[in-house]
Amino acid sequence: MSGGDTMAAVATAGGTGAVALIRLSGPEAAEVAARACTCGSDWQDRRAVLKTVRDEAGAVIDQVLVTVFHAPRSYTGDTVAEIATHGGRLVTRRVLERLLECGARSAQPGEFTERAFMNGKLDLTQAEAVMDLISAQSELALRAAHEQLEGRLGERTEKLRQELIDTVANLEAWIDFPEEDIDPETGEALRKRIEGVAAEIRALLSTADQGRILREGLRTVICGRPNAGKSSLMNRLLGSDRAIVSGTEGTTRDTIEEMLVIEGVPVRMVDTAGLREAGDEIEEEGIRRTIQEAERADLLIVVVDSTMPMDGAMPARLPEVGRKILVLNKSDLGEHADWSASEGIRVSCLDGRGLDELRAQVRVLADLGEADWGEHSVAINARHRDRLMRADEALQRADASLSADAEPEITALDLREAMEYLGEIAGKIDTEEILGSIFSRFCIGK
Ligand SMILES: Nc1nc2c(c(=O)[nH]1)N(C=O)[C@@H](CNc1ccc(C(=O)N[C@@H](CCC(=O)O)C(=O)O)cc1)CN2
């Protein structure tokens, strides 16, 4: 039985639930659903109807609700049939199998969203935002994903690309028809335009750090001497702030890594082995690695036992990290006079004092510019960053060739290259090879 190129997949998470959603998308989605429900395929648009899915012999598989979205008004832009089944694993699997028997094929991971992109329902940045949205671990990450899903980033890069298209068109017209009376946008005017685009590109690039933190978490390392209370602090923060999904890929040796959310900021927190004086060579190596690991962090939290004199409490060596917080722990026990002038945050993991101040400080140092979050905010990902950097380089070359009074053809080539890189961000030009790498990271049914 043919289903054209109609695909099917379970769209809800695996496991037992009240209901599960199976999606069909493609030219024969309505027919495949009708065959499985042994009914006519003249579904009313977007109206849920109660049906029974039966096997070949007519035995009941499940009672379901079917909603058909006729092309092009659907998520994918092709005809979509959504089948809401009872949520059991077995029932869901049997309904899906029946749909495959009735002519659908299994969808690949991300294929529904890929179809939406192919059909022009979403640009590439919006498709990526769908993925960001699903994997968001914090409020701020969710907000950023929504902004991107609205198309803000795509709009901005497309505007820049348009600006370059205009510029190149003008330049090339002048190259091709020098005798015509075309305003030769060369020299200062041209350079101004190029620099305007480059400035915008740099503004977008400056959001890369925020984007990484929102998507991957603020890399935070807790360090301090043995018994300063590093693990207690980590546990204390984890107790209330543990992320929905915890335990990312376990990192090295003596470190424990956890995901948590502090004041809306996703944080990837690493508890290091005690930083102390090396006793022997092996230990020395361990400490060297700990320091190395810590130096890749965005934020360093130094925990000290504040009942001790400063000399004995501070770690002998501290990694070089730009953002740092000093935590004066055990403040319930009374503080050694050495610390009286210290600006460290007084914390007690025992009674919880100071923890709110610590959380607030983490949010400030994460520098997600949350005051600006809302309309028109973007936070680019690594792929966008790569394309923007290449575009920026091409524009710099264009600028340099202008200054050097090179052939205008050379400048036009560089501008075209920048245009291509910008176009790859929203996927408005041929992007075959990058599609695979984006959509394969989706889950099946998305
Ligand atoms: N049942 C169900 N819930 C869902 C989805 C879905 O596909 N199915 N979504 C999927 O991830 C999200 C919602 N996103 C959607 C986006 C567009 C269209 C859609 O039908 N668009 C048409 C019609 C627009 C309109 O009526 O205004 C279109 O763009 O032409 C549907 C869902 C979350 N909830």
CATH of the domain at 415: 1.20.120.430
Q: How many domains are there within the chain? A: 3
Same domain, 25 and 49: yes
Domain-located, residue 436: no
Minimal-distance CA residue to ligand 1 atom 5? 75
Domain-located, residue 439: no
Minimal-distance CA residue to ligand 1 atom 30? 73
Determine the 3-state secondary structure of 260 from DSSP.
strand
d(CA 427, CA 118): 10
Same domain, 346 and 385: no
Domain-located, residue 102: yes
Same domain, 288 and 231: yes
| CA–centroid distance, residue 169 to ligand 1 (Å) | 38
Same domain, 113 and 226: no
Closest by Cα among 129, 135, 134, 130 to 148: 129
Domain-located, residue 433: no
Same domain, 353 and 219: yes
Of 123, 144, 169, the residue at which a domain comes to its end is: 123
Same domain, 222 and 360: yes
Q: Which helix (H) or strand (E) holds 169?
A: helix 152-176
Minimal-distance CA residue to ligand 1 atom 23? 73
Question: Could you list the pLDDT tens digit for every one of the 446 residues in the chain?
Answer: 555 699 999 999 988 999 999 999 999 999 999 999 999 999 999 999 999 999 999 999 999 999 999 999 999 999 999 999 999 999 999 999 999 999 999 999 999 999 999 999 999 999 999 999 999 988 889 999 999 999 999 999 999 998 998 888 878 877 776 666 555 556 678 889 999 999 999 999 999 999 999 999 999 999 888 889 988 898 899 886 665 544 333 333 456 788 899 998 999 988 775 454 445 666 677 777 778 878 889 999 999 999 999 998 998 888 888 899 999 999 999 999 999 999 999 999 999 999 999 999 999 999 886 555 555 578 999 999 999 999 999 999 999 988 888 888 999 999 999 999 999 999 987 555 556 656 776 777 77
The parent domain of residue 43 ranges over 7-123
Domain-located, residue 438: no
Domain-located, residue 440: no
Residue 73, ligand 1, Cβ within 6 A: yes
C-beta separation of 247 from 259 below 8 A:
yes
Of 90, 123, 156, the residue at which a domain comes to its end is: 123
Same domain, 238 and 313: yes
Minimal-distance CA residue to ligand 1 atom 18? 75
Domain-located, residue 441: no
Q: Is 443 exposed, middle or buried (0-12, 13-18, 19+ CB in 10 A)?
A: middle
CATH of the domain at 316: 3.40.50.300
Residue 82, ligand 1, Cβ within 6 A: yes
CATH of the domain at 98: 3.30.1360.120
- Annotated binding-site residues read 23, 82, 121, 227-232, 246-252, 271-274, 446
Same domain, 238 and 364: yes
Same domain, 161 and 20: no
Same domain, 226 and 361: yes
| CA–centroid distance, residue 171 to ligand 1 (Å) | 43
What's the one-letter identity of residue 266? Answer: P
Q: Which atom of ligand 1 is nearest to the CA of 72?
A: 30
d(CA 437, CA 335): 54
Q: Per the structure block, which two tokens stand in for 303? A: 């925990």
Q: Which of 7, 73, 75, 79 maximizes ligand 1 atoms within 8 Å of its Cβ, making it the mutation to test the pocket?
A: 75
| CA–centroid distance, residue 302 to ligand 1 (Å) | 47
Residue 192, ligand 1, Cβ within 6 A: no
Same domain, 243 and 178: no
d(CA 304, CA 89): 51
Of 94, 123, 152, the residue at which a domain comes to its end is: 123
Domain-located, residue 262: yes
| CA–centroid distance, residue 152 to ligand 1 (Å) | 19
Residue 79, ligand 1, Cβ within 6 A: no
Same domain, 147 and 268: no
Question: What ipTM was assigned to the predicted interfaces of this complex?
Answer: 0.95
- Sign of the dihedral through C-alpha 234, 239, 244, 249: positive
d(CA 281, CA 96): 60
d(CA 141, CA 370): 11
d(CA 420, CA 161): 8
